[in-house]
Amino acid sequence: MTLLPQPTREQLDLSRVLEALSNPIRQRVVRQLSESTDFTLTCGELLPDLPKSTATHHWRMLRDSGVVGVARNGREFRANLRRADLDARFPGLLDAVLAAI
C-alpha cells in the first residue's frame, strides 16, 4: 500500500481543515471513517452515489487539508481518518464536528 501525499501533523492548518469539514458530503465521509478501522473502506464505497469527478474533488479537499489519509493498493484507493494527528494539533475539534453531524 502506497500512501498518497498529505500534510504532516505540523503542517495541518485550521482554516483548511475547517473548510474541508464544512461540506455535508465530506462530513458524511468523516462520520463513516470515524466508525471504521484504518484503511478498511475504499473511496468508492464511501461515496458510491457521486460522479467520479465530484468524488475526486471531495477526496482531494479531505486529503489536502490533512483530514484523511488515502493509500493506493493496486487499483483501489482506501481512506482513513487522521484522528490522532487532528486531535494532537486541534484538541476537541474532531469530536465537536462529529457530535454536530
The per-residue DSSP string of 46-86 comes to HSTTS-HHHHHHHHHHHHHHTSEEEEEETTEEEEEE-HHHH
Per-residue pLDDT averaged across 90-98, rounded?
96
**Tens digits of residue pLDDT in 12-29:** 999 999 999 999 999 999
Tracing cell 483501489 back to the chain, one arrives at 76
User: Which cell goes with 6?
Assistant: 498529505
**SS3 assignment, position 45:** helix
- Topology (CATH level 3) of domain 2-100: Arc Repressor Mutant, subunit A (1.10.10)
Indicate if the pLDDT at residue 1 is higher than 90. Answer: no
Mean pLDDT of the residues in the chain? 94
**Tens digits of residue pLDDT in 50-68:** 999 999 999 999 999 999 9
